[in-house]
């Protein structure tokens, strides 16, 4: 009979746990659709609010850092190499460590261009638009997964929630993807509108902001994470 090592037991236990959790979760990660999750790591992220929160941070910060990178080809290659490393994890602790290490690198890469961010509702700062992207890479703007994420130069990324001046029948995400009203490089006024309430310690996802373009006074609102604090 084949001997079973402690590592094999740990992997089997991790797999069984994820299978059970998968029966009860309907959450989505920030950068991929949990309904299409196929790997142990993807299912772990979808099933664990803490890991999902790290994924939220990763998606937002990666978009910002990519927009500021002088060598986007190399930057994307580095991210793919990190994803390969993350996907080799066989435990939640390994996944968490992988995210923490990558987030540290991304924060360092954006620190030189970071500007002050508002910390209290009503406070505003001037910054600029760095990049616009869809939540899932390659998704059609306005459809599921095609929600627009706007990266700003002060290390804040926002998922679009509303464009007040649009007519009700116009899809805001599809409009934002094609419009020049909010273009890369535009200077904007960023104002903090509200802070999330009753959040777990260390989890402040869900801050709501308004963004006003200084060239045309057009504005939109957005939230800083796909999931609110305490969510999956």
Bridge partners of residue 194, in order along the sequence: 208
Residue 30: pLDDT over 80 = no
- Domain ranges for the chain, please list them: 7-112, 114-223
Q: What would the pLDDT profile of 174-199 be if each residue is shown by its tens digit?
A: 999 999 999 999 999 999 999 998 88
Coil, strand or helix: which one is 176?
helix
How far is residue 29's CA from residue 158's CA, in Å, rounded to a whole number? 15
Q: What would the pLDDT profile of 123-157 be if each residue is shown by its tens digit?
A: 999 999 988 999 888 899 999 999 999 988 877 88
**Residues 232, 49: contact at Cβ < 8 Å?**
yes
């Amino acid at each position: 009979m084949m001997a079973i090592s402690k590592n094999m037991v740990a992997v089997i236990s991790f797999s069984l746990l994820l299978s059970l959790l998968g029966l009860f979760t309907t959450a989505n990660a920030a950068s991929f659709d949990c309904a299409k999750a196929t790997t142990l790591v993807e299912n772990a992220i979808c099933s664990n609010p803490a890991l999902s929160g790290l994924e939220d941070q990763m998606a937002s910060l990666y978009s910002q850092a990519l927009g500021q990178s002088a060598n986007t080809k190399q930057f994307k290659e580095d991210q793919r190499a990190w994803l390969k490393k993350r996907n080799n994890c066989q435990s939640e602790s390994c996944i968490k460590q992988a995210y923490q290490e990558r987030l540290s690198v991304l924060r360092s890469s954006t620190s030189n261009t970071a500007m002050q961010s508002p910390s209290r509702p009503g406070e505003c700062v001037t910054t600029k638009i760095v990049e616009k992207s869809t939540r899932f890479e390659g998704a059609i703007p306005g459809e599921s997964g095609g929600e627009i994420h706007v990266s700003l130069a002060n290390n804040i990324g926002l998922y679009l929630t509303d464009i007040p001046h649009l007519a009700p029948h116009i899809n805001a995400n599809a409009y934002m993807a094609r419009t020049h009203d909010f273009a890369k490089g535009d200077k904007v006024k960023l104002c903090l509108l509200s802070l999330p309430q009753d959040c777990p310690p260390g989890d402040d996802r869900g801050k709501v902001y308004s963004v006003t373009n200084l060239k045309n006074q057009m504005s939109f609102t957005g939230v800083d994470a796909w999931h609110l604090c305490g969510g999956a």
